[in-house]
Amino acid sequence: MEQQSSILWGIAPIGWRNDDLPTLGADNTLSHLLSDVVVAGFQGTEVGGFFPEASVLKKELALRNLRIAGQWFSSFILRDGLEETAKAFDKHCQYLQDVEADVAVVSEQTYSIQGLHQSIFSKKPCFTDEEWVKVCQGLNELGRIAESYALKLVYHHHLGTGIQTAAEVDRLMANTDSVVHLLYDTGHIFVSEGDCMTMLEKHIDRIQHVHFKDVRKTVMEQCRQAGKSFFQSFLSGMFTVPGDGCIDFTKPYEFLLKSSYQGWIVVEAEQDPSIAHPLEYAMIARKYIDKTLTSIRSKESVY
């Protein structure tokens, strides 16, 4: 398979085990996951909540020639204050540096309804002006901590949180320093806005990490109609891997190439592993990447 040298392809552990709903895939071990990542031809993954201490993980990675892209961090700047959040984040960054990761994925989870039984389509929280100032200042501080560990803080816009919509991402980018980068997640922005190109085009200069998550449009509309929660929606199959849903990934991928994006593209689809076999879905993504995406540059170079 062809790989573009400036882009690293990863797949997230969420298809095997789900940190938001830890009963999903609880029997899937680290060895199983990492070996599947190799079989499906990916170069790395992100750290899941069940991953072991750094030295153990590093050995398992080295055995398979895999790398760690980064790991999710739920910040609670508004709920717990910056001091407490920064302390926890510092520890998080130390671990990520130990496993030689590139990015620290941050999402402000104060007031988040991500884990609650409330409609993900209509009940998202909004920050007040005062809260926006606190969140942005706090993220600047966390961004500086990440830099001190040679990591990039990449902010994950997320359904059901105070920073979900295109307008909220615009506000975040306008009010944070360059130490706060952006994670572009196709699935979250598509469900929120019905489009995933506007945000990409607008903020490409700040985007330092990418999640390619696909959406099953009919399921999304049914979930919206029924007012389903985030958990209910993904358990109904709202998300899937690229090549299996409605997003045409050639558009964001071509734009990333045109913009000389350098970094990870991580395939990520929360699904129930007892229904969506993780390796089978990883292979669906692999096939789509090879046949439809990475062939783009080689086709172009013929002319």
Q: What does the binding site for ligand LX7YND4F look like in residue numbers (CB under 6 A)?
A: 14, 19-20, 72, 156, 185, 188, 211, 268, 270
Give me the least distance between CB of 79 and ligand LX7YND4F, in Å please. Answer: 18
- Site for Co ion contains 124 (CB under 5 A): no
Dihedral sign (CA 80, 13, 164, 123): negative
CA 73, CA 96: separation in Å to the nearest integer? 11
In single-letter form, the type of residue at position 256 comes to: L
Segment holding 54, helix H or strand E: helix 54-64
Q: Which lies closer to Co ion via its Cβ, residue 156 or residue 286?
A: 156
Compose the 263-282 pattern: x for residues touching Co ion by CB under 5 A, - for all others.
Answer: -----x--------------
- Site for Co ion contains 211 (CB under 5 A): yes
- Site for Co ion contains 203 (CB under 5 A): no
- Site for Co ion contains 209 (CB under 5 A): no
Give me the least distance between CB of 115 and ligand LX7YND4F, in Å please. Answer: 9
CA 266, CA 10: separation in Å to the nearest integer? 4
Q: Which lies closer to ligand LX7YND4F via its Cβ, residue 67 or residue 157?
A: 157
Structure tokens at 87: 């302390």
CA 124, CA 154: separation in Å to the nearest integer? 21
- Site for Co ion contains 157 (CB under 5 A): no
Q: Which lies closer to ligand LX7YND4F via its Cβ, residue 67 or residue 158?
A: 158
Task: Answer with the entry of Co ion, ligand LX7YND4F, none that 90 interacts with (C-beta below 5 to 8 A by kind).
Answer: none
- Of the candidates 222, 139, 218, 213, the one whose C-alpha atom is nearest the C-alpha of residue 181 is 139
List C-alpha distances in Å: 285 to 12, 297, 299. 12, 18, 20
Cβ-based neighbour number of residue 50 at 10 Å = 16
In single-letter form, the type of residue at position 86 comes to: A
Give me the least distance between CB of 164 and ligand LX7YND4F, in Å please. Answer: 11
Q: Which lies closer to ligand LX7YND4F via its Cβ, residue 120 or residue 173?
A: 120
Interacting residue with Co ion among 141, 185, 214, 270 (CB under 5 A): 185
Q: Which lies closer to ligand LX7YND4F via its Cβ, residue 20 or residue 290?
A: 20
- Of the candidates 210, 124, 134, the one whose C-alpha atom is nearest the C-alpha of residue 167 is 124
Selected range binding Co ion among 69-77, 145-153, 182-190, 223-231, rule: CB under 5 A: 182-190
- Give helix then strand counts, H and E, for the chain: 13, 10
CA 288, CA 241: separation in Å to the nearest integer? 9
